[in-house]
Amino acid sequence: MKKLFLISLLFFASCSYGQDSLTRILFILDASNSMNASWGSQTRIEAAKELLAKTVDGLKDVPNLEIGLRVYGHQSPITATFQDCNDTKLEVPFAPNNFSQVKTRIKSIYAKGTTPIARSLEAAAGDFPDQTSRNIIILITDGLEACDNDPCVIAKKLHDKGVRVTPFVIGLGMDLSYLEKFKCIGSYSDAETKDAFAKVLHNVVNKALLNTTVQINLNNINHQPLETDVTMFLYKENTNELMYTFTHTINKHGNPDTLIIDPKNTYDLVVNTTPRVYKKGIILQRNKHNTIEVDCPQGYIKARFLNASKPYQIDMRIIQSGEHRTLNTQKINKSDKYLIGTYDVEILTLPRIYITLNVNQSSTSYIDIKAPGFLKYKVSNSIVGQIFTKNSDGTWDWVCNLKDKSLYDTWQLQPGLYKVIYRQKKLKSSSYTMEKEFRINSNTTTSLRL
């Protein structure tokens, strides 16, 4: 079954053009019969026409830009015994301010024929008036070549003629093994939804106009760009104006993903690791591929019970060593990612457990603690009091206060020796103070009658 994908082919002359020089974009629309298949709430041709029309509408105010429209598969109906492999036509040639004409022609297209991708690409190379501008082809189609020519061969022929081809293939609902077939044409990516397709088309057009790309290397301790899966903010320099938000991604080739960012601004980058990493005053070079290097070496912290008989729910606070504010909270038995360094951890057990540890590159720093037990107590009359735990040096530390006016309660406590000190609330003399020692063991309940 055919899948919807988008190929963008960039044709460059031998010299480099600035952003202010003329750019020509030729849109090629697939109007083959298979485009009548359903795609969500629309057919493929309806969705493609809608997205293309919106894209064209958004380009009308871009300076130094001309567009054209070629369509294939729209003139001759395909039958069981016939397909017209020459069914490709330049419907709207390049001209200044022809955006309305292109939009009008898009609306009148109906899908009916076959899929001559190779012949359309070969013919499209002659649609451009000259090679003095930046010449771009964006092809929207729902399938592989249906005629006798091979798009890979055409791409090679164009390259041999001195035309450098940089294509982009965006597959919708296509698995990666299927997309591998487009390696001969160029880079490719996957999109599952119409919204994703719209974003990809937007990015391809932006790249064509800006001719500037960026990759952000989140480096580990060995200065390798292997850290990923974290949100990044790009602000206009020295302001709170958020310009771009990205979730960092390593692409299918094992490299940081390529981003499209307007080079006219200077940026401040925030990488939302824990803690955050900042890089200020980023200047992008126009008409080049820019690489931004950021050191973000990370590892993991995980606390775990040694002997728990059930999933106890206990939080812990993570504080960067030398700081005072809480950096993060996480559950015991869950791991979370942190920049390498030293951290103070407060585990919110009773009594509290305090640990200082180091986080190392790509490894997990474990905190092993004993599973808690329970204290249950009952009283005949309301009491006031506190619970203390005995230290290894024989001293006693406060753990918690008993709940006032409560005749019974349950506390989750770490294993150890404890003492409850209390008196009946109605007895107004310290001489009525009582105390009782007890021991807490993991996963068991100690009951007291006070």
pLDDT digits (tens, 9 = 90+) for 382-394: 999 999 999 999 9
Task: Give dist(CA 343, CA 274) in Å, integer.
Answer: 11
253-274 pLDDT, tens digit each = 789 998 989 899 999 999 999 9
Instruction: Provide the residue type at 220 as one letter.
Output: N
Instruction: Write the pLDDT tens digit of every residue in 242-251.
Output: 999 999 999 8
Condensed to tens digits (0 to 9), the pLDDT of residues 34-59 reads 889 888 888 889 988 998 999 999 89
DSSP assignment, residue 34?
Answer: G
Backbone torsions φ then ψ of 13, nearest 5 degrees: -75, 180
Q: Identify the pLDDT of residue 148.
A: 74
**Strand 213-219 relative to strand 328-331, pairing:** unpaired
- Which of 95 and 195 is assigned the larger pLDDT? 95
User: Which backbone phi and psi does 160 adopt, to 5 degrees?
Assistant: -65, -25
pLDDT higher at 105 or 16: 105
Instruction: Measure the CA–CA gap between 408 and 427, rounded to whole angstroms.
Output: 19
Res 16 pLDDT > 60: no
DSSP secondary structure code for residue 112 in this structure = -
Q: What is the pLDDT of residue 341?
A: 97
List C-alpha distances in Å: 97 to 130, 158, 311. 18, 29, 67
What tokens appear for 446 in the block?
A: 């100690």
155 membership: H or E segment, kind and range: helix 151-160
Reported in sequence order, the residue ranges of 40-133 that DSSP labels E, i.e. its strands, are 42-43, 65-72, 88-95
pLDDT tens-digit series, residues 299-341 = 999 999 999 999 999 999 999 999 999 999 999 999 999 999 9
What is the Cα–Cα distance from 49 to 71, expressed in whole angstroms?
Answer: 11
Using DSSP bridges, classify how beta strands 266-271 and 277-283 pair: parallel, antiparallel or unpaired: antiparallel
DSSP string for residues in 162-226: T-EEEEEEEEES--HHHHGGGTTT-EEEEE-SHHHHHHHHHHHHHHHHH--EEEEEEE-TTS-S-
CB 151 within 8 A of CB 179: no
CA angle in degrees (0–180, nearest 5) for 116-117-120? 85
Domains defined along the chain, listed by start: 4-210 (3.40.50.410), 213-295 (2.60.40.1120), 298-369 (2.60.40.10), 373-449 (2.60.40.180)
Cα(401)–Cα(98) distance, rounded to whole angstroms? 79
Instruction: Kindly tell me the sign of the dihedral angle through the C-alpha atoms of 217, 218, 223, 227.
Output: negative
| Residue carrying the six token digits 């310290």 | 430
More confident call, 148 vs 219:
219
Question: What residues pair up with 235 in beta bridges, in sequence order?
Answer: 242, 268
The number of residues in the chain equals 450
Which whole number is the average pLDDT over 397-412? 92
Q: What is the pLDDT of residue 260?
A: 86
Q: 112-142 pLDDT, tens per residue? A: 999 898 888 888 888 888 777 788 888 888 7
This prediction's pTM: 0.73
Q: Of all residues in the chain, what percent carry a pLDDT higher than 70?
A: 88
Angle between the N-to-C axes of helices 44-57 and 194-210, in degrees from 0 to 180, rounded to the nearest 10: 40
Q: From CA 169, how far away is CA 146, in angstroms rounded?
A: 17
The confidence score (pLDDT) of residue 14 equals: 33
- Strand 383-390's sheet: what is its strand order? 396-401, 383-390, 416-424, 434-440
Please report the sign of the dihedral spanned by the C-alpha atoms of residue 39, residue 42, residue 43, residue 48: negative
